[in-house]
């Protein structure tokens, strides 16, 4: 558990010490509503839920990515060289998997369109489980003109046999692929960069011609996401810390000029951007020496003023991979010193964070993340090995976020701490505290979930019905001589839906 959550838990435990002594002797509830937790009280902590799976070891990595379909199957793709040349790999991970379904599928240099220059892999997955691996490679034609490299793909259905690779579009010679994403109608858009100059090339669908988009500087990182039919492209200047993220948008085939997102830096990290059900969100760094992460939303005409996510770790993020799922959440994985940090922003603005140490030195690429609406996830990261890099994948549970509700009457105040929507199947600490007015005192506290009185300040998210709404109520009785006054605060929240 991260220090910030440990501090919060300790604060809540201290604030509700009297709750235990009161509710522990309270009479049973007269009836349990359908909103009451199930009988099982399984504790499930946020973070890794099983030992990591080693996908490859002693390899030179040239790109890796992960994505999940609507059935909860996750697909890890990577490019690695263990001595026989660069190879493209696909691993399918079922929920609860301890190994790749059917083993690891591999495209080797013996396959056409896989070469020593193969790099920049992206994994794109439809809800129905069609997997498309997209990558960049040079060709002989790269030496003879400016548009001689290629974008290649290979596909799989639900982790079935990986198709033979094929080239599907040209790319700038000896350039690089910066991003690939699904666009309108399921088309695949690709962003590439020439080997020199201040521009990027956007291909709006693999069968469409490339569009040159001028940039204000040489680009180190780019992310392309969509708000309806509007494409939004964000970029970072190569080799800088204090230059803000810039963005442009495309409507009707025409790109706007680039504008800066004020009050953002990039620290030594790439930024993250994702399309959520409520719109595009971008995570970068605040423009001061704290380097705390900030989130900004796409308004249709630009990005909103960035706001702190609440992650105030002393070690600032040095990478970002930002994703979303059908629950509406925004999630982000980053490197924070020797930890992988995973943030769950259920409202796309405020983060609950869980961290784990990798017991090694990061190398080979930044961590990658994929999530399900229920709050289950796979996180992928790589560390140095004896002669190269080791790529690992591990299942995890996203953390639940704690929010506060207050209520006052006659100067007596009640503060209730409980879960925000949506709550993953994890254990969280809840509590209620009374602050009496002058001459008043606290007599008792009570917590209820629906109509069920709770006898603990520990709430097991795994015992709640997926997708169901709940009401948490905290009540405090205050006394002044013979007078009594009950003040109640409520929080309504939803358990994360399946799958």
Cβ neighbours of residue 329 closer than 8 Å, sequence gap 6 or more = 276, 344, 345, 346, 348, 371, 375, 398, 422
Residue 28 forms part of a structural domain: yes
Residue owning tokens 């961590």: 367
Are residues 375 and 299 located together in one domain of the fold?
A: yes
pTM for the structure as a whole: 0.90
Residue 334 lies in a domain: yes
- Classify residue 109: in a domain, yes or no: yes
Judgement on whether residues 262 and 317 belong to the same structural domain of the protein: yes
Intervals of the chain under pLDDT 50 = 1-40
Cα–Cα distance measured from residue 54 to residue 445, given in angstroms and rounded to the nearest whole number: 49
- In the sheet with 119-125, reading across from the earlier edge strand, the strands are 119-125, 130-137, 149-157, 166-171
Residue at a domain's end among 363, 397, 431: 397
Q: In terms of Cα–Cα distance, which of 451, 448, 453, 438 is closest to 488?
A: 448
Query: How far apart (Å, rounded) are the C-alpha atoms in residues 200 and 203?
Result: 10
- Asked if 330 and 466 sit in the same domain, the reply is no
Per-residue pLDDT at 112: 85
**Has residue 266 been placed in a domain?**
yes
Do 389 and 414 share a domain, yes or no? no
The residue out of 367, 397, 427 marking a domain boundary is 397
Q: Are residues 31 and 66 in the same domain?
A: no
| Half-sphere exposure of residue 447: CA atoms within 13 angstroms, side-chain side | 26
Q: What is the DSSP letter of 261?
A: -
My answer on whether 201 and 275 are in the same domain is yes
Q: Residue 192: its pLDDT value, please?
A: 98
Which segments of 16-85 are extended strands (E)?
47-48, 53-68, 74-81
Residues 313 and 213 in one domain: yes
Query: Which residues are CB-contacts of 353 (< 8 A; sequence separation ≥ 6)?
Result: 2, 4, 5, 310, 311, 313, 341, 342, 343, 344, 399
Rounded CA separation 48/42 (Å):
16
Residue 80 lies in a domain: yes
Q: Quick one: residue 103, left, alpha or beta (phi over 0 = left, psi -120 to 50 = alpha)?
A: left
Please check whether residue 476 is in contact with residue 486, taking contact to mean a CB–CB distance below 8 angstroms: yes
Distance CA 185, CA 250 (A): 16
Residue where one domain finishes, among candidates 397, 412, 445:
397
Residue 439 belongs to some domain of the structure:
yes
Q: pLDDT tens digit string along 417-472?
A: 999 999 999 999 999 999 999 999 999 999 999 999 999 999 999 999 999 999 99
Whichever domain contains 174, its CATH number is 2.120.10.10
328 plus 421 within the same structural domain: no
pLDDT at res. 462: 96
- pLDDT at position 30: 27
Pair 309, 322: CB distance under 8 Å: no
As for how many domains the chain has, the answer is 2
Domain extent, residue 19, equals 3-44+402-494
Closest to 305 (Cα-Cα) out of 272, 257, 255, 260 = 260
Residue with tokens 């220090």: 3
- Dist CA 306 CA 297 (whole Å): 8
- Dump pLDDT digits (tens) for 272-284: 999 999 999 999 9
Cα–Cα nearest to 307, from 275, 334, 284, 330: 284
Looking at the structure, tell me whether residues 444 and 328 fall in a common domain.
Answer: no
Task: Say what the pLDDT of residue 42 is.
Answer: 64
Instruction: Say whether both 30 and 145 belong to one domain.
Output: no
Assess whether 458 and 377 both reside in one domain: no
> Helix count (H) and strand count (E) of the chain?
2, 39
Are 497 and 327 in contact by the 8 Å Cβ rule? The answer is: yes
pLDDT, residue 499, reads 81
Query: Are residues 376 and 301 located together in one domain of the fold?
Result: yes
Spatial CA neighbour of 492 closest among 475, 470, 474? 470
Residue 499 lies in a domain: no
């Amino acid at each position: 558990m991260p220090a910030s959550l440990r501090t919060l838990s300790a604060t809540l435990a201290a604030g509700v010490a009297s709750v235990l002594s009161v509710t522990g002797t309270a009479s049973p509830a007269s009836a349990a509503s359908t909103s009451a937790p199930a009988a099982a009280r399984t504790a499930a902590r946020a973070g890794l839920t099983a030992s990591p799976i080693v996908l490859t070891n002693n390899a030179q990595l040239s790109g890796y990515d992960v994505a999940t379909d609507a059935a909860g199957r996750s697909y890890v793709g990577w490019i690695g060289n263990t001595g026989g040349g660069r190879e493209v790999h696909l691993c399918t991970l079922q929920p609860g998997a301890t190994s790749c379904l059917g083993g690891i599928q591999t495209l080797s240099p013996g396959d056409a369109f896989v070469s020593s220059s193969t790099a920049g892999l992206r994994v794109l997955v439809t809800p129905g489980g069609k997997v498309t691996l997209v990558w960049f490679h040079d060709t002989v034609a790269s030496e003879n003109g400016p548009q001689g490299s290629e974008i290649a793909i290979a596909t799989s259905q639900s982790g079935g046999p990986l198709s033979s690779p094929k080239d599907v579009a040209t790319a700038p010679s000896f350039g690089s692929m910066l991003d690939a994403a699904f666009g309108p109608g399921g088309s695949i858009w690709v962003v590439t960069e020439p080997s020199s100059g201040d521009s990027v090339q956007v291909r709006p669908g693999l069968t469409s011609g490339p569009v040159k988009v001028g940039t204000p500087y040489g680009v180190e990182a780019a992310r392309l996401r969509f708000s309806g039919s509007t494409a939004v492209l964000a970029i970072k200047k190569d080799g800088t810390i204090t230059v803000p993220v810039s963005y442009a948008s495309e409507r009707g085939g025409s790109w706007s000029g680039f504008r800066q997102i004020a009050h953002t830096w990039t620290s030594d990290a790439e930024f993250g951007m994702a399309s959520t059900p409520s719109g595009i969100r971008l995570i970068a760094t605040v423009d001061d020496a704290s380097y705390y992460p900030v989130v900004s939303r796409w308004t249709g005409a630009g990005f909103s003023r960035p706001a702190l996510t609440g992650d105030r770790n002393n070690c600032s993020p040095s990478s970002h991979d930002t994703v979303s799922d059908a629950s509406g959440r925004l999630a982000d994985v980053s490197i924070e010193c020797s930890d992988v940090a995973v943030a769950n922003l259920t409202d796309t603005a405020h983060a609950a964070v869980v961290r784990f140490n990798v017991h090694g030195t990061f190398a080979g690429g930044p961590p990658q993340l994929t999530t399900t609406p229920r709050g289950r996830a796979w996180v992928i990261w790589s560390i140095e090995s004896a002669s190269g890099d080791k790529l690992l994948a591990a299942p995890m549970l996203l953390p639940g976020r704690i929010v506060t509700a207050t209520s006052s009457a006659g100067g007596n105040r009640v503060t209730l701490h409980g879960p925000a929507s949506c709550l993953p199947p994890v254990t969280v600490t809840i509590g209620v505290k009374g602050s009496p007015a002058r001459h008043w005192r606290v007599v008792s506290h009570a917590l209820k979930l629906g109509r069920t009185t709770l006898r603990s300040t520990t709430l097991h998210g795994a015992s709640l019905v997926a997708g169901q709404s709940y009401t948490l109520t905290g009540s405090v009785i205050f006394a002044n001589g013979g007078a009594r006054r009950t003040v109640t605060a409520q929080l309504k929240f939803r358990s994360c839906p399946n799958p």
